[in-house]
Amino acid sequence: MNLATVPSSTYSDTVRTDTLKIKLILVDEPGIFRDGLENLLTAQKDFEVTGTADSAASAVEQLRALRPDVVLLGWPPSSPPSQRVFSTIQDAKLASRVIVLTNEDSKEDFVEAVRQGCCGIVAKQTSTELLLKSIRKVHAGEYWMDRMTTAEVIRRLSKKRPAANAPSSRLGVRDQSTALSTREREIVILVAQGFKNKEMAERMFISEQTVKNHLHNIFDKLGVSDRLELALYAIHHNLHEAR
């Protein structure tokens, strides 16, 4: 599976060497999937499954009491129980980061998950290796979506464009796009349209390293941390289409 390009992280994909573990809670219906997932995660030396929940009330109680690092949420993001989970994290100002576990055919849920403030979207059908990697990356502060999910989210958000629909809580409230140069604006448009660094370099007749340098400057100016946030920022501020 190809993954959306994200900035490099000092966080290792291997097991952490210190004594701190990533605290997790699983929120999903009881059954074979949740039990198997709990066993898988418990077997990882750097994970600690501190709780499981199969109701909104139980999830809220455990969020407040356990304050997990990462929540694995198996319910549809648009469902009332999921919305209670997200609102609890926001209202209680918890540092918990949510990964939504979704079915691959639930494309509308992708957009709702982003709107609710999730930090990762992982298909329930994904490989064990990628699931474990996604948890570690999200805990390290990154966002996780595969390329197809990223493209679908951008496409659907782009069609719906009103600023009120964008996840502005994670993108900042000020439009700092006026600080961008003409070249940087061109790159923002191409990122929002799903182009890779090599493809942008070829279209703009510049080197791939120059593209990377521009992206680094754009991230700094706009206060975003990766390409996904940049794409969402571009849509939120209507920067994703050529003038």
Q: Count CB-CB contacts under 10 A for residue 192.
A: 21
- Provide the 3-class DSSP secondary structure of residue 43: coil
Look at residue 92 in the predicted model and tell me its pLDDT: 92
Residue 126, burial from CB neighbour count under 10 angstroms (0-12, 13-18, 19+): middle
CA angle 123, 129, 132 (to 5 degrees): 75
* Confidence tier at 243 by pLDDT (50, 70, 90): low
pLDDT above 70 covers a percentage of the chain that reads: 80
DSSP per residue over 120-140, as a string?
A: EEEETTS-HHHHHHHHHHHHT
Look at residue 165 in the predicted model and tell me its pLDDT: 41
Look at residue 160 in the predicted model and tell me its pLDDT: 56
- Provide the 3-class DSSP secondary structure of residue 168: helix
What's the rounded mean pLDDT across residues 57-85? 95
Q: Count CB-CB contacts under 10 A for residue 162.
A: 9
Look at residue 35 in the predicted model and tell me its pLDDT: 94
Most confident among 68-82, 115-129, 168-182 (mean pLDDT) = 68-82
pTM, 2 dp: 0.67
* Confidence tier at 57 by pLDDT (50, 70, 90): very high
Look at residue 9 in the predicted model and tell me its pLDDT: 38
Domain ranges of the chain: 22-152, 163-236
From 3.40.120.10, 3.40.50.970, 3.40.50.2300, 3.40.190.10, which CATH number describes the 22-152 domain?
3.40.50.2300
Give me the CATH code for the 163-236 domain, please: 1.10.10.10
Q: pLDDT tens, 170-209?
A: 444 345 667 899 999 999 988 877 788 888 999 999 999 9
CA 151 centroid distance within chain: 13
Of 238, 83, 74, residue with least CA distance to 171: 238
Take residue 57 and report the two structure tokens written for it: 């009330």
In the chain, the N- to C-terminal Cα span, in Å, equals: 34
Is residue 214 over pLDDT 80? yes
Comparing 130-134, 136-140, 141-145, 211-215, which segment has the lowest mean pLDDT? Answer: 141-145
Comparing 32-46, 52-66, 114-128, which segment has the lowest mean pLDDT? Answer: 114-128
